[in-house]
């Protein structure tokens, strides 16, 4: 049964916390240093990034989702703003800031931005903070997180001492009363049904599919090294001592086994005393072992795509058979429109909406406009006119 913890005494608001640990969710516990651990060893984000580095499908899904958020870049012409003079900081552009925040959002479930008031007292500088470096402090009596902790390696806090940084609340009037030069950290408040403090990425329910895909990659590597079966069985006459047997085995294995030899060899010594020559029996690999787990791997790919609400494999670069469309661009356009309706538009509002607040804080009262993605090469008006003129010149009057 969940236990209810009252937040305030003026009303009837309760914060429900579950006593049991839900599957595929990190262990969240208070530490003695003031922050809340994220994972059993406080390295849950690193584990997620490790799974992502082993899964080509998950990596492609995250990259596609990030590309969908950024689109063709910020449309400065539509905003009627000179984008060449606008940067969130001296290091990179607004497009790069959106890209980094979107990457953390899809890979880890949320993102963080450092906000520093400039010396002019009117504008602010915004820096992306890798979300795997962030840990939350305990909530106050109102249920708010007033500060965070930053560290390069949370598995060794004694070596990489965490730094406490105050949190920034994005006000609707964009009047941030903060001193100049002092960094603040802004982390969007994203509701999660699974955890109370830290977020969960959209693909958390497909962690087993990601692990299975990583195992299939290891299986393919092993089978590529030994071609599914040993090359054959080599039968040798008996030898006088174990030292001589080991020496023969070492020479044979160096010649035929390993990745350079392409296959492995089964060696046995006969116990009879008959004068028989060396005998080699070749092995033939079974054709049934080829693509043994292909259908299972296809199901894992589909499960990973489902967590991102990606309706077609073609959006992440996988080949797709003919499904009734006249061209590949039509498949991509239709699939991408469906993805935008299911998840893309909501993710863009989540990430770009925060950047809009940063714009307003710097005195730019303009909503960011993202250029749409183009999958098909359209024909311009000039090209169409040229084609039409060539057709007219090539007309042969029939007599």
What is the pLDDT, as a whole number, of residue 169?
75
Provide the pLDDT for residue 266: 62
**Are 235 and 281 in contact, with CB atoms under 8 Å apart?**
yes
CA distance 23 to 47: 15
Round to whole Å and give the CA distance between 297 and 218.
13
SS (H, E, C) 97-157: HHHHHHHHHHHHCCCEEEEEECCCCCCEEEEEECHHHEEEECCCCCCCCCEEEECCCCCCC
Three-state secondary structure call for residue 228: coil
Q: What is the spatial distance between Cα 106 and Cα 86, in angstroms, rounded to a whole number? A: 26
Model confidence band, residue 237 (pLDDT cutoffs 50, 70, 90): confident
In the structure encoding, which two tokens stand for residue 138, read together?
């305990």
295-331: pLDDT as tens digits: 888 899 999 999 999 999 989 988 776 555 556 778 8
pLDDT 10s digits, 19-44:
466 777 888 888 888 899 998 899 99
Task: Assess contact for 342 and 309: CB atoms under 8 A.
Answer: yes
Q: Kind of pairing, strands 28-30 and 36-38?
A: antiparallel
> Angle formed by the axes of helices 345-361 and 56-70, to 10°?
50
Q: What is the dihedral of CA 229, 232, 237, 238, to 10 degrees?
A: 0
On the question of pLDDT at 2 being above 70, the answer is no
pTM of the model: 0.76
Rounded Cα gap, residues 18 and 210, in angstroms: 27
pLDDT tens digits, residue range 332-362? Answer: 888 999 999 999 999 999 999 999 888 888 8
Q: Give the pairing of strands 134-136 and 147-150.
A: antiparallel
Yes or no: say if 126 and 89 are a contact pair by the CB < 8 Å rule. Answer: yes
Render pLDDT for 85-142 as a digit per residue (tens, 0 to 9). 788 999 999 999 999 999 999 999 999 999 999 988 888 999 999 999 999 998 888 8
């Amino acid at each position: 049964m969940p236990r209810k913890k009252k937040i305030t005494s003026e009303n009837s608001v309760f914060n429900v916390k579950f006593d049991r640990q839900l599957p595929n969710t990190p262990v969240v516990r208070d530490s003695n240093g003031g922050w809340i651990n994220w994972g059993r060893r406080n390295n849950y984000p690193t584990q997620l990034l490790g799974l992502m580095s082993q899964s080509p499908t998950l990596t492609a899904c995250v990259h596609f989702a990030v590309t969908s958020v950024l689109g063709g870049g910020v449309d400065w012409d539509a905003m009627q703003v000179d984008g060449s003079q606008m940067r969130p900081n001296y290091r990179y552009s607004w497009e790069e800031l959106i890209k980094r925040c979107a990457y953390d959002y899809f890979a880890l479930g949320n993102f963080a931005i450092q906000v520093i008031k400039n010396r002019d007292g009117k504008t602010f500088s915004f820096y992306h903070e890798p979300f795997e470096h962030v840990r939350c402090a305990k909530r106050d009596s109102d249920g708010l997180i007033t500060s965070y902790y930053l560290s390069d390696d949370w598995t060794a806090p004694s070596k990489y001492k965490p730094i406490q940084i105050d949190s920034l609340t994005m006000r609707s009037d964009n009047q941030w009363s903060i001193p100049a030069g002092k960094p603040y950290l802004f982390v969007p408040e994203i509701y999660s049904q699974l955890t109370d403090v830290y977020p969960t990425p959209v693909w958390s329910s497909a962690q087993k599919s990601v692990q299975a895909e990583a195992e299939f990659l290891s299986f393919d590597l092993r089978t590529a090294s030994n071609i599914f079966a040993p090359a054959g069985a080599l039968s040798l006459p008996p030898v006088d001592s174990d030292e001589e047997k080991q020496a023969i085995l070492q020479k044979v294995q160096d010649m035929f086994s390993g990745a350079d030899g392409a296959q492995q060899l089964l060696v046995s010594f006969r116990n009879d005393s008959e004068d028989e020559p060396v005998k080699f029996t070749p092995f033939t690999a079974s054709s049934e072992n080829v693509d043994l787990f292909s259908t299972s791997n296809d199901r894992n790919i589909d499960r990973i795509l489902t967590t991102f609400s990606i309706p077609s494999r073609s959006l992440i670069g996988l080949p797709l058979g003919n499904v009734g469309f006249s061209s590949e661009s039509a498949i991509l356009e239709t699939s991408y429109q469906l993805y935008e309706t299911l998840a893309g538009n909501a993710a863009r509002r989540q990430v770009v909406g925060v950047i809009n607040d940063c714009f307003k804080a710097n005195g730019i009262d303009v909503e960011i406009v993202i250029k749409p993605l183009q999958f098909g090469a359209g024909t311009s008006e000039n090209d169409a006119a040229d084609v039409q003129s060539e057709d007219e010149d090539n007309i042969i009057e029939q007599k």
